[in-house]
Amino acid sequence: MAQAEQRLTVAFKEDHVEADNFRIRYWASGPSEPVGTVVMLAGMTWGLSKLRDALGQKYRVIALELPGFGESPANTRSQSVQELATTAARAVAQAAPENYTLIGTSFGANVALWQTLQSPDKVEALVLISPTAILPADGPISGTPEETAKRLFAHPEKARGLPSVDPAIVAKEQALVQRLTGGMHDAEAERRLGEIPCATLVLFGSEDQMVAPDAAGIYRERIPNSNLSFVYDAGHLIEAERPEALVNAVSDYVELRETFIVGRQTGIINP
């Protein structure tokens, strides 16, 4: 199923909204009769294009470019992750007034977490992919491209096969993330995990080196209706290393939420 989905190309239409004096771009797509709405907040660099395309087959998908990320101007005004989440929520309210499933990856997941805490009535389900709010590993990503790849990938050699990213964009995003988080554990986010009311899936690569090994369990323990998932043989950038597994798990969860644990594959070989 995942391979077939990859061959499909989904036309995303670019648009923008104004929120908190930011001009925020987003890309929207979806079938004529979507079964729901999914909002995606990509973190740094490579984003979630394969997942976005897969979900776009059934859902109205809004992929938001957070202020200061991608090709947007440097964001020097947001003072905290919470503030950025408020801005994101205001932007989403214009692009998708209906309720939605919210997906964030890496730093985008930290923003999604706060957006859910701030707008619990709007978020029907939450998917946090490689969030770094809880127990981030020591030190920001820095150094040579090889050292960066070693931190982000289970198999750093795979980084070479990815589309190149403008180093200026990477530097701009890193500076913003560092300014807003300081690479520190978000104690308030941890304290408030229990307030997340919606079904929540938290995914980590089994080789993620951007958070401490104990981080994953904290989300599962504190968020009342949550599932924790490990994607085998993937580092922090799951989509880059195990895209089919990520698409499969998240698609199932978006469709089925906490019932995604119920087996649905037939065991019949020959009827």
Site string for other proteins, 234-253 (x = CB under 8 A): --------x--xx-xx----
Structure tokens at 43: 């973190």
CA distance 4 to 150: 31
Which distant-in-sequence residues (6+ apart) come within 8 Å of 268 by Cβ?
Answer: none
Q: Which of 124, 190, 233, 255 binds other proteins (CB under 8 A)?
A: 233
Which residue's CB is nearer to other proteins, number 43 or number 243?
243
- Which segment (74-82, 102-110, 173-181, 223-231) binds other proteins by CB under 8 A? 223-231
Q: What are phi and psi of 111, to 5 degrees?
A: -65, -45
What is the per-residue binding string for other proteins in 179-208, x denoting contact by CB under 8 A? ------------------------x--x--
Q: Which is nearer to other proteins, 163 or 263 (CB)?
A: 263
Structure-token pair, residue 268:
């019949």
Cβ atoms of 231 and 216 within 8 Å: the answer is: no
Q: Write out the binding residues for other proteins, residues 251-270 only, by CB under 8 A.
A: 260-263
Measured distance CA(250)–CA(207) in Å, rounded: 18
- Which stretch in 8-16, 23-31, 104-112, 217-225 sits in contact with other proteins by CB under 8 A? 217-225
Answer yes or no whether residue 109 interacts with other proteins by CB under 8 A: no
Q: How far apart are CA 184 and CA 204, in angstroms?
A: 19
Please give the distance of CA 263 from its chain centroid, rounded to a whole number: 25
Interaction of residue 231 with other proteins, rule CB under 8 A: yes
Q: How near is the Cβ of 261 to other proteins at its closest, in Å?
A: 4
Torsion of CA 109, 57, 256, 48, to 10 degrees: -20
Binding piece for other proteins, criterion CB under 8 A, among 6-14, 54-62, 89-97, 220-228: 220-228
> Least distance in Å: CB of 229 to other proteins?
4
Nearest to 113 by CA among 137, 136, 95, 130: 130
Collapsed DSSP state (helix, strand, coil) of residue 259: helix
Residues in contact with other proteins by CB under 8 A are 203, 206, 216-217, 220-221, 227-233, 242, 245-246, 248-249, 260-263
